[in-house]
A and B are shown apart, each in its own frame.
Chain A
């Protein structure tokens, strides 16, 4: 409970700092980018779908403007629950900084292992830079590069599982392109990500392991279609390292629906398949995320 409050406080503090220091003169309704082009907030806090980043930056600020977002998300699968909250701020449609706090509840595993810890928390500090292009208007996809510095606060179980480090960074390249009228007249987007990472289950089970402790390149992707400008649906896939002999780690995937009623709010719901997690097999369930944009 305390951790929740601390995390929320941190996220809100960052958001208030961002909005007051830079005196946002314009609300998101009057900002320059088109509805839904800021995406949602993926579970590591950057603009994305649910589990995969997009090349777009959070919020609706275009060149010469800024944007900020705050979000809460929950993943509920058979034996685990993950709560995430965080915030992001982007400037000039060029740079995004983000912070997210993840709290994993693992009652089943804690009982099975006979350990008192039944939560693992992780803080993620992210930065993303748009290198080239525009999601909609450029001939080639919008290209962005990002880093995520992850600090795992509860390393007892990850260490017992064979993880080497409690903190590490991911770096990724994301390319995203929206095709106007691309599928039977509907707008379609394609998104590909290459990520260099040592993270086990995104870092919740630490970094590196006895099977492999080197950074490796994994691939992630998403594809989606807008039914109209408020509703979209799609799929995501996220490849993962497999560093721990203690338990094989599988890839993540989901099918999602996103609703963008206006530039202030978005809601994403998904069916997720996270594979085997720390010996508990076939972790499937749902994901929901609410984002506010400022």
Chain B
């Protein structure tokens, strides 16, 4: 048991982002082209998702698309700077629930699967996005 836990701890540490080059995740997502495809896939999935479609009815989709691309590029270590509103500001008054949040996560995962992003890179991107949840839900 102790040996197993030690091995688990070593494996966990080897997953630290600090041991990899800074744009590793961006490259694993497929670079700029990959990120664009993922966001396009995400928007397609949202458009077909009854659970959250209404949340986006009044959104400027072109602007949303470019800001999402920018944000995922920046957060994954790509050569971009996010220029959009804060997460708090862009979600204030939208009453996004825990379930809405997860629905979007599912739509994003499906978009990444369609783009054949490796599972490890999918999880790293989700790990980068997860801390934003309190800035998004129940506002």
Q: Do A and B come from one complex?
A: yes
Chain A contacts to B: CB under 8 angstroms: 30-35, 62-65, 93, 134, 136-137, 179-188, 223, 227-229, 235, 237
B87 within 8 A of A: no
Cross-interface CB contact of B126 among A64, A180, A184, A188, cutoff 8 Å: A180
User: A242 CA to B97 CA in the complex, in Å?
Assistant: 46
Return chain A residues, CB-CB under 8 Å to B121. Answer: 185
User: A142 CA to B110 CA in the complex, in Å?
Assistant: 26
User: A62 CA to B120 CA in the complex, in Å?
Assistant: 26
Least CB distance, A185 to chain B, in whole angstroms: 2
Contacts A30-B50, A179-B12, A235-B4 known; 7 new A-B pairs at CB < 8 A: A31-B99, A34-B102, A62-B98, A180-B124, A183-B11, A184-B120, A229-B109
Cross-interface CB contact of B15 among A137, A185, A237, cutoff 8 Å: A185
Using a CB-CB cutoff of 8 Å, which residues 66-125 of chain B contact chain A? 97-100, 102-103, 105-106, 109, 118-121, 123-124
Are B15 and A183 in touch, CB under 8 angstroms?
yes
27 contacts between A and B (CB under 8 A): A30-B51, A32-B51, A32-B98, A32-B100, A33-B99, A33-B102, A34-B105, A34-B106, A63-B97, A63-B99, A64-B99, A65-B99, A137-B130, A180-B124, A180-B127, A180-B130, A181-B126, A183-B8, A183-B11, A183-B12, A185-B118, A185-B119, A185-B120, A185-B124, A186-B119, A223-B4, A229-B119
Q: At the interface, is chain B mostly helix, strand, loop or mixed?
A: helix
Q: How large is the interface on B (under 10, 10 to 19, 20 to 34, 35 or more residues)?
A: 20 to 34
B6 within 8 A of A: no
User: A63 CA to B126 CA in the complex, in Å?
Assistant: 21
User: A188 CA to B123 CA in the complex, in Å?
Assistant: 11
Cross-interface CB contact of A186 among B98, B103, B123, B130, cutoff 8 Å: B123
Return chain B residues, CB-CB under 8 Å to A35. Answer: 106
Return chain A residues, CB-CB under 8 Å to B8. Answer: 183, 188, 223
Chain B contacts to A: CB under 8 angstroms: 1, 4-5, 8, 11-12, 14-15, 50-51, 97-100, 102-103, 105-106, 109, 118-121, 123-124, 126-127, 130, 133
Q: Which of B102, B109, B124 has the most CB of A within 10 A?
A: B102
Least CB distance, A217 to chain B, in whole angstroms: 19
Are B97 and A181 in touch, CB under 8 angstroms?
no
Q: Which of B1, B97, B123 has the most CB of A within 10 A?
A: B123
Least CB distance, A90 to chain B, in whole angstroms: 14
User: A188 CA to B124 CA in the complex, in Å?
Assistant: 12
Least CB distance, B8 to chain A, in whole angstroms: 6
- Chain B residue at minimal CB-CB distance from A253: B1
Are B11 and A184 in touch, CB under 8 angstroms?
yes
User: A141 CA to B130 CA in the complex, in Å?
Assistant: 15
Cross-interface CB contact of B120 among A30, A186, A223, A235, cutoff 8 Å: A186
Are A64 and B123 in touch, CB under 8 angstroms?
no
User: A188 CA to B127 CA in the complex, in Å?
Assistant: 12
Return chain B residues, CB-CB under 8 Å to A186. Answer: 119-120, 123
Q: Which of A134, A137, A180, A181 has the most CB of B within 10 A?
A: A181
Are A237 and B1 in touch, CB under 8 angstroms?
yes
User: A235 CA to B7 CA in the complex, in Å?
Assistant: 14
Return chain A residues, CB-CB under 8 Å to B50. Answer: 30
User: A188 CA to B7 CA in the complex, in Å?
Assistant: 13
Are A93 and B98 in touch, CB under 8 angstroms?
yes
Least CB distance, B78 to chain A, in whole angstroms: 18
Return chain A residues, CB-CB under 8 Å to B4. Answer: 223, 235
Are A63 and B15 in touch, CB under 8 angstroms?
no
- Chain A residue at minimal CB-CB distance from B14: A184
Are B98 and A63 in touch, CB under 8 angstroms?
yes
Least CB distance, B77 to chain A, in whole angstroms: 14
Are B12 and A62 in touch, CB under 8 angstroms?
no
Given contacts A64-B97, A137-B130, A235-B4, contact A181 B102 (CB under 8 A): no
Return chain B residues, CB-CB under 8 Å to A228. Answer: 119
